[in-house]
Amino acid sequence: MSGDDHQQYLDDQSDEIEALQAIFMDEQFQILDVDTLETTTAQRLKLHNAADDAAAAAYRITVVPEEPDEEPPEIPQRLGLLFAYPPTYPDVPPLIVCQSEQGISKTDLANIETHLHDEALANVGMAMMFTLANAAKDWLREHANLDVGEMEDEAARKKKELAEEERLAKARRAAGIEVTKETFEDWHTRFEAERALAKALAPDAAERAERAKRMTGRTYFEKRRGEAVEAELEDDEEDFDLDDLDDEDDLLDDLEALVEEEGVSTPASS
């Protein structure tokens, strides 16, 4: 490659960078410090490479799926589109690395890179970074709902697993034995059944206890009859007097004296 050709490539690349800086806000477009990049990323962008296709600088465009006047989604997504120019860009595709700044899975990153590589091949010979940034944005918009749904499902699944683990741990602490999900469910089923049965029988037990406190008709009658007999005996004891016995003895003595006067013998005298 002649010096004039090399300079032409540099000029084309510089013009595109100026255009990108004018299009994107400062927080969306950055010139990267190549010395601070991870080794793997630097290698993929062919920085510090002694080969003829080495890149001299690297850049980042932050891509979001929503338009500036749109409300951000509940789970935002931000894509870091890192790129570098090979010496003969734009006659060859740019070097691209996609990174998730927020909410993008590794699988989606790989799919986006494949999509952008195909777009780059279709645009060889012209400045294409703005086109590729829009292609990434369109891809995110098309797949945003699916990704958000998958993330919400994953979050719900993890939350359910944590709740289940916590419940099993409490059961193990309470029982003092090893508990599995199956044994806990069996225990919980029996526990709920026993509690429901106890609740259903509680009114009957209370009623039986109340009836036990009350006298039956037979018990009441026998108790009353016993009280009456006891009272009658007490009255008889009160009416009985030892003086009555003395009166009877005096009467008997008088009768015997009368009989003797009349000359009639009594059974006792004979």
The domain total for the chain is 2
Q: Tell me: pLDDT of 211 over 90.
A: no
Residues 218-268: tens digit of each pLDDT: 665 566 666 766 666 666 555 545 455 555 556 566 666 665 665 555 455
CA nearest 116: which of 93, 92, 148, 141? Answer: 93
The 10s digit of each residue's pLDDT in 99-137 is 999 989 999 999 999 999 999 999 999 999 999 999 999
d(CA 68, CA 6): 38
Considering the chain, what is the average pLDDT of its residues?
Answer: 78
pLDDT band of residue 67 (cuts 50, 70, 90) is confident
Residue 16, Cβ neighbours under 10 Å: how many? 20
Omega before residue 72 within 30° of 0, cis: no
| Amino acid 186: pLDDT | 83
pLDDT at 2: 72
Q: Who has greater pLDDT, 4 or 207?
A: 4
Judgement on whether residues 17 and 97 belong to the same structural domain of the protein: yes
- What is the identity of the amino acid at 171? A
Its domain, for residue 220, covers 180-234
Q: Do 123 and 195 reside in the same domain of the chain?
A: no
Residue 62 CA: distances (Å) to CA of 6, 26, 28, 78, 176: 29, 10, 5, 7, 54
Query: What share of the chain in percent tops pLDDT 70?
Result: 64
Q: Looking at the structure, do residues 187 and 141 belong to the same domain, yes or no?
A: no
Closest CA to 131 of 34, 23, 18: 23
Token duo for residue 29: 């477009």
Residue 197 CA: distances (Å) to CA of 51, 134, 204: 82, 66, 12
What mean pLDDT do residues 81-99 have? 94
Quick check: is 167 in a domain?
A: no
The encoded tokens of residue 227 equal: 């009280």
Q: Tell whether 90 and 49 lie within a shared domain.
A: yes
The CATH number for 12's domain is: 3.10.110.10
What pLDDT digit, counting tens, does each position of 142-196 carry? 886 554 555 566 667 778 878 887 887 777 777 766 667 777 888 889 888 888 8
